[in-house]
A and B are shown apart, each in its own frame.
Chain A
């Protein structure tokens, strides 16, 4: 596209697809790619299925993908449709908002059998924040239980956008896809940047490639960029010479130049994705734009936990794996630490609990490593008697009580959106999580937004899960850090057979310590196997024991039957038992299965 038509932007549409989990976003994306036929369906699969087990299982998109589609409109013109996919979890809200900022419009997919749900709304509000044009469409129209009219009405009432013309589609069956493509062209506005202006481009994603270095995915707002240009990233101030530019189809297709209104990629021998952080603005070093794009945020780890190799000798392997993950994940960081119980390991920082789970699962799946994670913790600000301040993200490092003047914990502003019938239940939940209500408002007749200030510590454990379960999936959550606040938090230790196991130590609010101590002891009781002796499990604050359970000495582990000569069955059973033993960690005299460390993290308060 060297000799660009002056009007080339008229034929570009940049859009995202937004939807609630399982409403068919990925299927629709696949169908659009297939219908427009820009890529062979085989390549498309390779692109879309790579490393996606995790996302599939959790029904969320973690990593973004961008695809350029060629579409011939009914008006006879060739259009370029840039589909920018978005992740779907509150941990990644920032990434979602940057992706949306790269678009002029969003296709809102609503499952016609389910209607409007929480994430639909959360995503719509993110899209409206970016002033996007929203094009609703109803999916799964082929199912007998589809109720398009009601769903349309819901969209109009709850979201407040006109849905009368919304295309009825079935992404699975390929119904209505042509009509939808036509609507995308008609409804979503064309980009209106100035190709002759100073370069201003938004980084909405980046990923590491072992040949090209970091690939920056970008939306050019104004100006243009080509190979050989020296670009400057305005927030980090770093400069790079451009080695390649191009489009995503979805694999990289090099081009001479990318210009205002277009979506593409830039490479510049960049070593780490953290050097090209999402949200940053790209400009030319020798002819910079004056103002960076708004909305840039530095990656900030909110949650920390220890990650230890399950087998001590794997330390270096785990370190290598973490380094590789870090290269591709700007929001993840780690440093070495040591635990008396678990040996050498790493303290790792994450955006949130889901982000943490993803990293741990990737270690296990992509690197085939078994790791043990310790209780996640937020960063506490410890003000000591001598006036000095320490930031503590590992409970074990908390100074002795006598040296502490007071402790402050991070607070967040939490915006919670729910149908009105759940207000009571959610207010109770928030109160239980030490939340302070700031404000409550009716968004529509049926939907309510609650604004709370809450300790981050209370949000990270399983607040999102609890919110989902108490609202049948309709609740949505967004939160951001606001400040540190003084708080009566204490360090709770766990002792097994009277030995302190530091990996279980956690910082909890005084008012929660008893319940949490009891919970952990009860949980461990069900997980720690019986030994030849009784194993007392104690939760203690300082010297004071606040909860206790006992694993009795073992009494019975015998198979009475002989299974009519089926020795293999018995052998398998014994092998399983032996295998289980291998996964145990020895703490003093007590054997603890590795799952104990993750099991105590999930705090099920319905119990």
Chain B
């Protein structure tokens, strides 16, 4: 579920969102979303089984709890949503109150992904975030009080004005809040964003690669020491607390994306909605697909390979055989020789059951994944 509203766009963000100071607009948007849900409800009906729901953004926590409630209800009505479904909502610490949190919890949201990004006000300001470090702690406390027992914190590193010391401090503060899950991203300067423009104009400096990687590996060491499992390139969790929803992206499961700019992979077809809120509302959420592509088995095999390589477990040859009816190294014969070079260099591991990236390999994962596309 894409919620395309933001109070203010962060300087690095290249996801689709619009400003939103208007309860009417949020309501109208919810109506359109319900329209799209009903549309797919007709198409797939109860045969479509979901065990995760994810509200991403934008800033889903700008939505009134009643609106979230009506969306979840509509989803449950249209599809078969399991009772113990993981229902995650992304939120911005500056947008939450105890009441709102209780409202979301009552609506059925049971997992929060908090866009904390940093526990340093200067770094937060540099990123163009609208919240302060103290908001994060308040939010986590309020969320716990509201009954959330599955919380994820997002953290960013290799950010301007950060440096190793502040990164360490942020990490410690995050750990002190005992989140069940942690995501940690190095800053990517994307074209078209304010950061992208600043970078081109020479007013924004990229963190040197060495420093970036020092920060990353420091975090992995520290997180593992604190008992977290590093299960995907940018994600770690307490045992058993993997983000079930995100894992679907990496193991070729179906997912239905709703809202402007949302991406789906369902029934072997990838499609995406146009990133146009006004149009989406105008047509009531139906007929906004902008691009679609039907994967053949080879596409699937390729995508499965490079996405699974993001995970700790890597690609299991048995799973690959089950899904695609072919031996992994038969399908990827042309990549074998070079991949072996990476194994020898300590960038990847390989046995007769699977391949996976090592920590060192994660640093250059694109190079290795590109062998398989």
Show the binding face of A for B, using Cβ within 8 Å.
532, 554-568, 570-571, 573-575, 577-578, 581
Contact = CB atoms under 8 A, between A and B. Distances in A.
Ordered nearest first, which 7 A-B pairs have the shortest CB separation? A560-B185, A577-B370, A557-B366, A578-B370, A574-B373, A557-B364, A566-B263
Nearest to A576: B370
B209 A555 contact: yes
A296 to B, nearest CB: 53
Nearest to B249: A565
B370 A574 contact: yes
B258 to A, nearest CB: 11
Nearest to A561: B185
Given A532-B345, A565-B255, 5 more contacts: A556-B363, A558-B364, A560-B184, A566-B272, A577-B366
B233 interface: yes
A558 B272 contact: no
Contacts of B369: 574
A559 B56 contact: no
B363 A560 contact: no
Given A559-B188, A567-B249, A581-B370, A554 B56 contact: no
Contacts of B364: 554-558
B306 A562 contact: no
Given A555-B209, A556-B213, A567-B265, A562 B249 contact: yes
Contact of A567 (B184, B270, B362): B270
B212 A556 contact: yes
A560 B306 contact: no
Interface in B120-159: none
Contacts of B209: 555-556
Interface in B286-331: 291, 293, 302-303, 306-307, 310
B2 A564 contact: yes
Contacts of B306: 570-571, 574
A323 to B, nearest CB: 35
A16 B32 CA distance: 65
Nearest to A577: B370
Contacts of A568: 263, 270, 272, 291, 293
B367 interface: yes
B227 to A, nearest CB: 23
B234 A562 contact: yes
Contacts of B257: 564-565
Interface in B344-373: 345, 362-367, 369-371, 373
A521 B176 CA distance: 49
B213 A555 contact: yes
Given A554-B367, A557-B367, A571 B303 contact: yes
Contacts of B234: 560-562
B97 interface: no
6 contacts: A559-B365, A560-B234, A564-B263, A567-B249, A571-B303, A573-B366
B265 A565 contact: yes
A73 B330 CA distance: 79
Nearest to B190: A561
B302 A571 contact: yes
B15 interface: yes
Given A556-B209, A567-B270, A561 B249 contact: no
A139 B47 CA distance: 71
A214 to B, nearest CB: 49
B238 to A, nearest CB: 20
Nearest to B210: A555
B82 interface: no
A254 B264 CA distance: 65
Contacts of A559: 188, 365-366
Interface residues of B, number: 43
Given A571-B373, A578-B373, A558 B270 contact: no
A563 B15 CA distance: 8
A567 B307 contact: yes
Interface string B251-271: 000010100001111000010
Contacts of B233: 558, 560
B254 to A, nearest CB: 11
B155 to A, nearest CB: 11
Contact of B366 (A562, A565, A574): A574
Contacts of B310: 562
Contacts of A581: 370
B246 interface: yes
Interface string B10-28: 0000010000000000000
A573 B365 CA distance: 12
A577 B263 contact: no
Nearest to B357: A558
A558 B210 contact: no
B56 A564 contact: yes
B186 interface: yes
A566 B363 CA distance: 21
B337 to A, nearest CB: 14
A558 B362 contact: yes
Contacts of A573: 366
A458 B46 CA distance: 76
Contacts of B210: 555
B330 to A, nearest CB: 19
Nearest to A566: B263
Contacts of B341: 532
A532 B291 CA distance: 38
Nearest to B264: A565
A563 to B, nearest CB: 8
A556 B366 CA distance: 9
Nearest to B56: A564
A584 to B, nearest CB: 12
A568 B186 CA distance: 21
B46 to A, nearest CB: 23
Contacts of B264: 565
A558 B249 contact: no
A420 to B, nearest CB: 35
Contacts of B367: 554, 557, 577
A578 B186 CA distance: 23
A569 to B, nearest CB: 9
B263 A557 contact: no
A288 to B, nearest CB: 67
Contacts of A565: 249, 255, 257, 262-265
A562 B371 CA distance: 19
Nearest to A554: B364
B250 to A, nearest CB: 8
B236 to A, nearest CB: 13
B241 to A, nearest CB: 17
A48 B188 CA distance: 47
Contacts of A577: 366-367, 370
A555 B2 contact: no
Contacts of A575: 370, 373
A205 B148 CA distance: 83
A575 B373 CA distance: 6
Contacts of B262: 564-565
A404 B307 CA distance: 61
Contacts of A558: 186, 233, 362-366
Contacts of B246: 562
Nearest to B57: A564
A607 to B, nearest CB: 15
Contacts of B293: 568
A556 B184 CA distance: 16
Between B291, B293, B310, B373, the greatest number of chain A beta carbons within 10 A of the residue's beta carbon is seen for B373
B5 to A, nearest CB: 15
Nearest to B90: A564
A568 B264 CA distance: 10
Contacts of B272: 566, 568
Contacts of B186: 558, 560
Nearest to A532: B345
A94 B293 CA distance: 56
B188 A561 contact: yes
A570 B305 CA distance: 12
A558 to B, nearest CB: 5
A583 to B, nearest CB: 13
